[in-house]
Structure 1
Amino acid sequence: MKIVEVTPQNAEKETFFCIKDTKRHGFKDKHQWFEKRFNEGLKIKILKNEADKMIGFIEYVPAISAWRPIDAENYMFIHCTYIYSKKDRNKGFASILIEDAEKEAKANGMDGICVMISNGSWLADKTLFEKNGFTKIDTKDRFELLSKTWGKNSETPKFYNWTSQQKKYQGWHILYADQCPWNEKSVEAILNIAMDYGIDLKVSKINTVEKAKNAPSGFGVFNLLRDGRLLEDHYISGTRFRNILKKELK
């Protein structure tokens, strides 16, 4: 096994793992976002086997620059990690990637490492991190914040109150960021359907870490709202949006 670090220079060769087609619009958007974030310490690493086949990946960043509504001074934060094939899971490969992030955090003098997990759609589940020494430290809505701490005097990471941000968005709104390369496709599908229904849907790009930390949902980088209510906090299909409209427009 070997870990390959993705950089702005080799991204088209190595890909971002979660999106491999370099011609897709989402890949290009992610690449531009990654170029800006790379100098802030964001890392994307891909685990490969002896045949150079991609097994899994991890994306992590100093928590002060995390694109999630978390407050975690002097921690590393894992945005996402994933082992693609079911036959490769439960073999310790994900732990190799988590250990890499932990080593990076210790090398940078950080107090610990943290991650968000969810009881809804999410890439990695809670048990993976518990096996690697993480414990739950905060809970809000469907999300839990887990951490592994070695700093003696460190402050405990916590969630920001994203619910308090929701009332700002009256009418129909989507706020999204290019941190997840699948957001763009979802937003395009939703926007086209909204036009078909005559809905005035305001679309806003989250383009700074400050906006992401003050987003109106736990995921932060995708938010669908109507009249101060959060309808979805993760990218969705056009079919899913049509089903939402059936309920909302009764």
Structure 2
Amino acid sequence: MEYIQITEQNIEREHICCAISSSNDIQVLSKKEWLKERFKDGLVFLKRKERGKCFIEYIPCENAWIPIVAKDYMYINCLWVAGSLKGHGYASELLNACILDSKEKHKKGICILSSSKKKPFLADPKFLKHKGFSVCDQSDNGIQLWHLSFQDEEDLPQFKECAKHPHIDEMGLVLYYTNQCPFNAKYVPVLEQISKEKEIPFKTIHITSKEQAQNVCTPITTYSLFYNGNYVTNEQMNDKRFLKLLLTLT
């Protein structure tokens, strides 16, 4: 399989896998603008040369948009192989490329978010375990931080205290999100409009900086929905999924 790395030089002409519609689509524009700002922080986006959802995105932990402490580790934002591309070993190839690159950059290991059971938009724990990863920390809502260390397992990655106990004081629906996930640019406004029409309290907190992301009250910054103070889900939703969820909450 042939892969290509997205850089500042080629990002305008390359597709970004997780959003492969028209280059003028709000999702594509949003994600590409987010990526452009991250390249200077050491972000790597490696993808299958042909169009399709097959890529890995990772960044040095000190620059990751997540509330963790992981000195000299690399953090994987996303490893995604979907559809007909699954089952060919591409995920292993992408992960191996990340491991090799991380070692060449003298990192102590890599880490990634998952859970005890497979959840949407999180790494598959079975795959991680098969690849030698193990859990190094867990938040109250079951979100786990997994690691693969290259050296002695000292000073393992861990969540910051603010993320270990996901809970907020605000009532109603509160959504924390970033532009790391392209789906948010399209669907967050849709959810806001639905909530307005149904007169349901709905507040969005758009995380727009690394510093803000590293100090939020949830281990998942790309998308974390709370209701009456309690964490609900990290699953990005379209209008139909959101309406279905509302029936269970209100």
Q: Deviations over 1:103-150 (max 9, x none)?
A: 221111111111112332135412222232222222333322221112
C-alpha change, 1:165 and 1:94, in structure 2 (3 Å) is closer
**1:178 Cα shift?**
0.2
Question: Alignment partner of 1:106: what SS?
Answer: helix
Match of 1:205 in 2: 206
Match of 1:132 in 2: 131
Q: Deviations over 1:160-214 (max 9, x none)?
A: 3425453243443222100000112221121011111123422221011222233
| In 2: Cα distance, 1:248 partner to 1:234 partner | 15
Unaligned residue ranges in structure 1 (runs of 5+): none
Greater alpha carbon shift after TM alignment, 143-152 vs 16-25: 143-152
| In 2: Cα distance, 1:248 partner to 1:228 partner | 12
| In 2: Cα distance, 1:53 partner to 1:244 partner | 32
1:208-227 residue pairs with structure 2 within 5 A? 208-227=209-228
Contact kept, 8 Å, 2:166 with 2:231, in 1: the verdict is no
Q: Which runs of 4+ in 1 moved over 4 A?
A: 52-55
Alpha-carbon RMSD: 2.2
Greater alpha carbon shift after TM alignment, 206-215 vs 162-171: 162-171
TM-score (norm 2): 0.88
Question: Alignment partner of 1:12: what SS?
Answer: coil
Contact kept, 8 Å, 2:15 with 2:51, in 1: the verdict is no
Match of 1:5 in 2: 5
1:81-92 residue pairs with structure 2 within 5 A? 81-86=79-84, 88-92=85-89
| In 2: Cα distance, 1:164 partner to 1:206 partner | 19
**1:55 Cα shift?**
6.5
Contact kept, 8 Å, 1:68 with 1:212, in 2: the verdict is yes
| In 2: Cα distance, 1:44 partner to 1:186 partner | 23
C-alpha change, 1:153 and 1:231, in structure 2 (3 Å) is closer
Match of 1:142 in 2: 142
Unaligned residue ranges in structure 2 (runs of 5+): none
Which residue identity does 2:106 align to in structure 1? G
Match of 2:246 in 1: 245
**1:229 Cα shift?**
1.9
Contact kept, 8 Å, 1:47 with 1:54, in 2: the verdict is yes
Greater alpha carbon shift after TM alignment, 25-34 vs 54-63: 54-63
Sequence identity (%): 27
Greater alpha carbon shift after TM alignment, 202-211 vs 162-171: 162-171
Q: Deviations over 1:54-90 (max 9, x none)?
A: 571000011112222322111001111112234x433
1:39-58 residue pairs with structure 2 within 5 A? 39-48=40-49, 52=50, 54=52, 56-58=54-56
